[in-house]
Amino acid sequence: MSLILKILSYLFLSAGVQCVHQVSWLPCKFSDEHVFVNNDSLTEAQLIHRQAMLQFGKTGDAPVNPDGITFLITGSKVDLRRYIEGAEAEQLGCELHRYSTEGIHVRWPVMGARHYNHWFSCTLRHTKGLFTVTSILRHPSDQPAPGQQDYHKWPPIGDKEILTTTVAMVIKTRTPSVRAGLGSQQKLHCQFAVDHKGPDITVEWHLKHRGEKRSQIQGTGVGLRGLAGGDASYTRLVTNMSSEGTYSCSVSVNPVSVSVDINLQIQEPPRVSLSTGSTLSLLEGELQRVSCYAEGYYPLDVKIVWYVQDPPVSDQRVGAPLPKLLENVLQSSHKVKWDKNWDKTYSLTAFFYRRASLRDSGKQFTCSVSHQSLRVPIKKSFILTVEDPTRRILKLSIGGSVVTLMVFLYLFRARRKTASLI
């Protein structure tokens, strides 16, 4: 019996801790609109930024901030807090906007719904980019539906007004920003829910490339089985640069629609190589060009620097000499490469000319390549060895003399052996 009591106590405390850490209110930026007709008979909208509070509770609850606008979210079949679990209030950015149904007025099919509703959109973003959640808030009204479009006649909202709302729809992505390499398969997460069963739901994915219009994505990529449970995630094979852009997952239930954007950026790391091996041997006074190649990277921005480091002294006890930035390094222009899949990647060469000097012998030269696809720069190094030309000539002459002597001895022994046989 005592064990059961302990288990129940633990579960009770765990539930209590979860409730304590559940977000109960959030400060929000409310972008209100003042719509009017100007002197040229054209409709203009003036954006007004107002401070508001998103508060979770029950109808009739006192506002957390009685001096500001309160959007009180009461219970419905869609619990908005479930979609932001694990996040603290200070990790969430909140934005509120009015939502227009473009003059379409349809009774929202939930119990107790009135003939007309005012709509608002609420977007919650994690400050570290872990997720984005957008919901449609329904504020019932006793007033009859206006005969013209909503945004031509927004009802005024007082500075201390309390708007009691419920969450009608919600959509979430855990992948608001995705970085992908060429040839990789990426799953763009999209989850949604509606506050009533059996709605006529339309789910669509759109893609907008930089500088182009948004276009609907056709074909497969969304699992049909998952749609029934609110999973509209899209799987994309990133094969070329045309995969890059802003993807939008949208869910529509007449007369409202909600969507989230996912930014897919292609990042291909560079391949780095040197024009020389791990060592380079030169004669004093010899002029040599050394190049560092960065190839096959995307996007364009890449940084290549050369460093030179003196060899450590034999009796040095603490650390090696610090590398110094090499001056007089030249760079080629960026080159564009199109492969068989028409994938546009770039290449760049950073090179320098060095006239060999004996004081440079033993120094280490390092090429460091930085790119946004890399956590740490890629480094390639070589050791320079410089010889005195006179010493090399002396070595060659001594070597030649030794070889000549060995050949002479070999021939001498061969003749003596031949003579002894005779």
Distance, CA of 300 to CA of 279 (rounded, Å): 31
Look up the CATH superfamily of 271-312+321-389. Answer: Immunoglobulins (2.60.40.10)
Q: Where are the domains of the chain?
A: 20-266, 271-312+321-389
Tell me the β-bridge partners of 192: 171
Q: How far is CA 328 from CA 306, 307, 353, 381, in A?
A: 10, 11, 8, 18
Here the tokens at position 321 are 């000499």
Q: pTM higher than 0.85 for the full model?
A: no
20-266: CATH topology: Immunoglobulin-like (2.60.40)
Rounded CA-CA distance 168/159 in Å is 25
* pLDDT for residue 148: 53
Parallel/antiparallel/unpaired status of strands 302-309 and 324-325? antiparallel
Q: One-letter amino acid identity for 296?
A: G
Length of the chain as a residue count: 422
Measured CA distances, 84 to 81, 104, 225, 252, 265 (Å): 5, 31, 25, 22, 25
> Which residue positions in the chain have pLDDT lower than 70?
1-21, 112-115, 144-152, 313-320, 338-343, 391-405, 407-408, 410, 412, 414-422
pLDDT per residue as tens digits for the range 125-177 = 999 999 999 999 999 887 766 655 555 678 889 999 999 999 999 999 999 99
Give Cα separations from 310 to 286, 359, 367 (angstroms).
Answer: 20, 10, 15
* Contacts of 342 by beta carbon, 8 Å cutoff, 6+ apart: 240, 241
Amino acid at 118: H
**Residues whose CB falls within 8 Å of the CB of residue 298, separated by 6 or more in sequence, listed in order:** 182, 241, 266, 267, 268, 343, 344, 345, 346
pLDDT for the residue 17? 35
Burial (CB count within 10 angstroms: exposed 0-12, middle 13-18, buried 19+), residue 78: buried
Half-sphere exposure of 256 (CA within 13 A, CB side): 27
Tokens read off for 173: 């992505």
Output the pLDDT for position 314: 52
**Counting beta carbons within 10 angstroms of the beta carbon of residue 381, is it exposed (0 to 12), middle (13 to 18) or buried (19 or more)?**
middle
271-312+321-389 and 20-266 share a CATH fold: yes
The radius of gyration of the chain's CA atoms, rounded to the nearest angstrom, is 36
Give bridge partners of residue 236 from the DSSP assignment. 186
CA geometry: angle at 24 spanning 21 and 25, to 5°?
A: 130
- Distance of alpha carbon 380 from alpha carbon 307, whole angstroms: 10
